[in-house]
Amino acid sequence: VYFKCENFQKIGAFKFRGAFNCISQLSEQEKKRGIIAFSSGNHAQAVALVGKMLGIKTTIVMPNNAPQIKLAATKGYGADVVIYNTITETREAVTQKIQDEFGYSLIAPFDNLHIIAGQGTAAYELNTKIKGLNKLLVPCGGGGLLSGSAIATKGLNPKCEVIGIEPKNADDATQSFNTGKLVSQPNPDTIADGTRTASLGNITFPLIQEYVDAMKTVSEQSIMQAVAFHLLRMKIVVEPSGALGLAALLSQAVEIVHGEKIGVIISGGNVDSSTLTQIFQATS
């Protein structure tokens, strides 16, 4: 099993790849007006850091239940943060209102071709370093990482089976994949906050249908056990969303066949102490 450790990426997650690729291609006029994004954390941090690097005014819309470590980091990169109530508001509506008032360019978290292309470089790098992967396991929230990784993998290694992994409590993409109809599941109750996206996007859904071979789900307990395994056995810090691939292997949601090479993308490592405490209490 070969792990692609995006927890070591800038801002601690793969999201930097897509954000930099997308924002760097904006026109000078768009950069001067400023940018806006909505995210529970990793995309927020990525857009905030790129905005700081490129000198662009950045506004981030974040939920009131966003992990504190991600909220603090986003503010630390200099972004203006707007908090919304997940019970009474939607991030899209709050973002649209601000965008209409100030004319900011929206940097979508996943449903954007430049974002998807940027995220796919994670799988591109893994496939160029480890030849002949038989399976690639990729976490799935809105599908940007999964669709980009699937395109890159199939281009380099068409025989590799690409499998998206979701929490059972947030299985909208799996339902969509299996039924062929886009399913929405707003504010799902899962510890894997990076997968709380209500649904796949209008761009990512058809790409996943075309390039992904299967979708599998894992329980909350298996996710927590995978986070603990990453830390205690592998000595690396991985957030719950990033541990989905290992959770699928440990729980046998994805079968390990002797002799196969399996790639696993660890999407990020931004987890706060309260979440780790919860995980260790549940797995000890």
Active site residues: 15, 267
Q: What residue type is assigned to position 108 of the chain?
A: A
Task: Tell the residue number behind the tokens 């209409």, with chain if given.
Answer: 100
Q: What's the burial of 232, exposed, middle or buried (CB within 10 Å: 0-12/13-18/19+)? A: exposed
CA distance 116 to 110: 6
Label each residue of 83-146 as H, E or C.
EECCCCCCHHHHHHHHHHHHCCEECCCCCCHHHHHHHHHHHHHHHHHCCCCCEEEEECCCCHHH
Sign of dihedral through CA atoms 231, 192, 48, 202? positive
